[in-house]
Amino acid sequence: NAGVMQNPRHLVRRRGQEARLRCSPMKGHSHVYWYRQLPEEGLKFMVYLQKENIIDESGMPKERFSAEFPKEGPSILRIQQVVRGDSAAYFCASSPGLGFYGYTFGSGTRLTVV
């Protein structure tokens, strides 16, 4: 079992470009969560998705950020027109489904905006 796979591990973007972060959940997991970690901070919840549905996006910035989890393929966190303040580590976690089973985290993608 490969665990939660995130890629790329490091991503550098210039201001104004788009960033796409990918997350493949553990085999058998249909629930995905995205968290953002700013330097010297804890993780902050962004969005919770099931296959083809956004369940909770209360932590997502209203502009420039979007997330999807298609029927086939990984979950994608997309940041348009990146700014320096978007520089952070972005973590994905997955779980099997309803009822608490705990989360498995990926190793994160570190986004640097230059």
Partner 1 sequence: AQTVTQSQPEMSVQEAETVTLSCTYDTSENNYYLFWYKQPPSRQMILVIRQEAYKQQNATENRFSVNFQKAAKSFSLKISDSQLGDTAMYFCAFMKLNSGNTPLVFGKGTRLSVIA
Nearest distance from C-beta of residue 25 to partner 1, angstroms: 13
- Out of 8, 17, 51, 56, name the contact with partner 1 by CB under 8 A: 56
- Out of 23, 25, 31, 86, name the contact with partner 1 by CB under 8 A: 31
Strands 75-79 and 19-24: antiparallel
> Cα dihedral sign for 22, 84, 34, 66?
negative
| CB contact burial 37-73 (16+ within 10 A = b; e otherwise) | eeeeeebeebbbbeeeeeeebeebeeeebebbbeeee
CA 68 to chain centre: 10
Per-residue x/- marks for partner 1, 88-107, CB under 8 A?
-x-x-x-x-xxxxxxx-x-x
Say whether residue 43 binds partner 1 (CB under 8 A).
yes
Say whether residue 59 binds partner 1 (CB under 8 A).
yes
**Number of alpha helices (DSSP H) and beta strands (DSSP E) in the chain:** 0, 11
- Out of 13, 21, 24, 33, name the contact with partner 1 by CB under 8 A: 33
Which residues contact partner 1 by CB under 8 A? 31, 33, 35, 40-45, 48, 56, 59, 89, 91, 93, 95, 97-103, 105, 107-108, 110
